[in-house]
Amino acid sequence: MAIADAVATNDCVVLIEGESGTGKELLARHVHVKSRRRDGPFIPVNCAGISESLFESQFFGHVRGAFTGAVSETLGVVRAAEGGTLLLDEVSEIPLHLQAKLLRLLQEREVIPVGGTRPVPADVRFIATTNTNLKQAVKSRQFRLDLYHRLNIVRIEVPPLRCRTDDIALILDHYLKFYAEEYSMPIRVLGEGIRQQIRDYCWPGNIRELCNYVERLYAADLPPLPPTLVTTWLDDARHVQDQPPMEPQPSRITEIHDEPLTYTLAEAERSAILIALKRTGWNRSAAARLLEVHRSTLLRKIRNHRLNDLI
């Protein structure tokens, strides 16, 4: 954050590296807001989603009549970001043969629209993000060395969430409040046992996965389950026949002196198994896939929790 605040005051190119979901775009927006360009546009460009054949037109724009279908002039994302910041999101995804065009843009700070003859100055600040190691991409000849050096003026590496566990509780509480407002529901209160499991979980999807975990607690009205059980349910459920919603089975809940309601780990596991079984129409194989456990493991847990009578 200290580096981000320091470079925000000038217009140098910033390269932000980090795993997917760590908040690279959020950090880029922070740099923009802290800069003298804060009143200008902030335009993120998904480099992986740009068609190779339309790269120049989408980046640099085109003049009327430049090609079939060009019925009017188009600015392109570079000139659209005039006076502001252009975020090159996942810059490593730009094909190798097109990287030279980006290199020239960064060096000359000007564009030539497709079909145009004169260069147009580009008063734009550039920030690039990537979830891959560009130095390794250069070694494997998937990224140009000269472009890497042009981007690597100031490099900020955003660490994964598992390396900054002190942030987890802060981010968790933020999203618990945020989604309570989004869904017009009371703030979910998580017991210390669940909070500890959330702190101990590795979060391979980083902040984005933690955000999704919290939203699912509200969207699906789930009990506060361990993140290893709940994070992929809705994705996997697309491959299972939809079942009508059913009321969750009651489980023992303890409340002492108006303290928040909490679940024991055994109760959370039992509730997770019940929800998975109901969503799959009591199909134990499908439920095992939802819970990401072997079918024999699920059958053993069903016996341990004495759920056979319900199936």
Residue 55 has pLDDT above 70, yes or no: yes
Q: What is the mean pLDDT of the segment spanning 204-220?
A: 90
State whether the Cα torsion 245-246-249-255 is positive or negative: positive
Residue 291 has pLDDT above 90, yes or no: no
pLDDT of residue 73: 75
Contacts of 20 (CB under 8 A, 6+ apart): 131, 205, 206, 208
Domains of the chain, start order: 2-158 (3.40.50.300), 162-226 (1.10.8.60), 232-311 (1.10.10.60)
31, with CB counted inside 10 A (0-12, 13-18, 19+), is: buried
Residue 94 has pLDDT above 60, yes or no: yes
Give the confidence band of 71 by pLDDT, cuts at 50, 70, 90: low
pLDDT, tens digit, for every residue of 144-167?
999 999 999 999 999 999 999 999
Residue matched to tokens 């120049």: 56
Residue 174 has pLDDT above 80, yes or no: yes
User: Reading across the β-sheet that carries 14-18, which strands appear in turn?
Assistant: 42-46, 85-89, 125-130, 14-18, 154-158
State whether the Cα torsion 30-31-32-36 is positive or negative: positive
DSSP 174-225: HHHHHHHHHTT-PPP---HHHHHHHHHS--TTHHHHHHHHHHHHHHS-----
DSSP letter at 83? T
pLDDT of residue 258: 42
pLDDT of residue 235: 44
pLDDT, tens digit, for every residue of 12-41?
999 999 999 999 999 999 999 999 999 999
Residue matched to tokens 């810059």: 91
DSSP letter at 62? B
pLDDT, tens digit, for every residue of 240-268?
434 444 444 443 333 434 444 455 677 77
